[in-house]
Structure 1
Amino acid sequence: MKELTDSKNETLKFAMNGGMFIKNNMPKGLYIENYQKLNEIDTLSGEGNFYLKPNGIFYITTSNDYKILTSENFRFNSEIKYATQSGPMLIVDGKVNSIFQKKSKNLNIRNGVGILKNGEVVFAMSKKEINFYDFAELFKNLGCQNALYLDGFVSRSYFPQEKWIQEDGDFGVMIGVTNKN
């Protein structure tokens, strides 16, 4: 990703994998890039974290508003600039997803995204293994009204300002923040 931003005369300030992927690093579920729908929404049932209900969609609009909705409530429109689907939702309307258990032994590295009441975005990644409930509580305690789990043990972050630089791994979707040089 850094090579791409360098070629556009931008500085990569932050990056994180932004959802699950399937064969050939194709995004799992809905994926929209530069207003182009490159992969369809997945509302099927199945096994794995992606299919834990509700799953959701993180997206950015033309006016740079950030949103997270459950997949059931999402409606495609021409104002959506970028979108990625993942699951499960961590926080829905200010409440921790009811399928999570407080003392769960389902521990893993996890990353996710949340939206604060003022519309700002929060990205988080655990440095140690954590269960879904405790990870969701982090977003709730920060004041997020909605939050979405992005991925697990393959999660990586690039945040040089905080001396957190992980440049290995395979990903289907990357989320980045850049500045023009």
Structure 2
Amino acid sequence: MNFDGASFTVCRIDPAQEEVRLFLYDDEGQPHASFRSVNGALRGEGKQLGVAMNAGMYHPNRAPVGLYLEDGTQEMRLVTNAGPGNFGLLPNGVLCLSSGRAEVIESLTYERRQPGCTYATQSGPMLVIDGALHPRFLPKSDSVYERNGAAVAADGTLFFAISNDKVNFHHFGRLFRDVLKTPNALYLDGNISRLYDAGSGRHDAGWPMGPIIGTVEKAE
């Protein structure tokens, strides 16, 4: 879709009907780092990725910067203090997946609620918080990158979105607030943003990734 002079790809997912997982390490404890590796692991289950994207900031060794839960196992704790980079631009947030539903939750709210996610990834900054753009976003900022993020609509629809053009935070946040109408949205990353879509054949190339989020379907 096009919005305010830029192209975006938006994927709509129903967590009640589609299986959504996070992926980080393979069976040997090494980072998957690519959609190809995740598909290789799923092949043993007779499954494959449907749509997928990178899912949060990570260190040079691919370890997640903030909270990361995979199938109930915590790999990294929640980080609530301010810090350098986009992750530390508070408020940041958590994408939580549990029992057929998804939710984007601001990090301090997550800490208070302890919602019991099966899968979770923390990233930042929040793009939209309770219907408002992040207060630090500037309409005319010249910090532009290809960016990706996730959000959940009031009806439970999970959105993955990636910009096909370079945009600033304000522009990207408005996509979620004004077009997708999501009350909360989470930034996942920029510059290294990548999308996989089995249906269209899209498989973005790029640097090795940290956490990966994707729908899982029966292999063709």
Scaled by the length of structure 1, what TM-score is found?
A: 0.94
In the alignment, which residue of structure 2 is the partner of 1:70? 106
User: Secondary structure of 1:161's partner?
Assistant: coil
Q: 5 Å matches for 1:18-167?
A: 18-61=55-98, 63-75=99-111, 77=114, 79-140=116-177, 141-167=179-205
Structure 1 residue identity aligned to 2:109: N
Whole-angstrom distance in 2 between the partners of 1:33 and 1:167 = 24
Name the Cα RMSD after superposition.
Answer: 1.4
Residue type matched to 2:192 in 1? Answer: V
SS where residue 118 of structure 2 aligns?
strand
Query: In structure 2, what is the Cα distance between the partners aligned to 1:17 and 1:66?
Result: 17
Deviation of 1:78 (Å): 7.4
Gaps of 5+ in 1: none
Segment of structure 1 superposing worse, 154-163 or 70-79: 70-79
> Where does structure 2 lack aligned partners over 5 or more consecutive residues?
1-37
Pairwise CA distance, 1:105: 0.7
Amino acid at match of 1:68: V
Q: Bigger CA drift: 38-47 or 160-169?
A: 160-169
In 2, are the aligned partners of 1:158 and 1:167 still within 8 Å (CA)? Answer: no
Tell me the number of residue pairs that the alignment of Structure 1 and Structure 2 aligns.
180
Query: Per the alignment, in what secondary structure is the counterpart of residue 138 of structure 1?
Result: helix
When residues 28 and 110 of structure 1 are mapped into structure 2, their CA distance, relative to the original with a 3 A threshold, is same
- Give the residue type in structure 2 aligned to 1:66: A
Identify the residue that residue 5 of structure 2 maps to in structure 1.
none
SS across alignment from 2:108:
coil
Letter in 2 for 1:71: S
Residue 5 of structure 2 corresponds to residue 5 of structure 1: no
Structure 2 contact 66–123 (Cα < 8 Å) conserved: yes
Which residue number in structure 2 is paired with residue 179 of structure 1? 217
- Runs of 4+ more than 6 Å apart: none
* Partner SS, residue 84 of structure 2: coil
Counterpart contact for 1:35–1:78, Cα < 8 Å: no
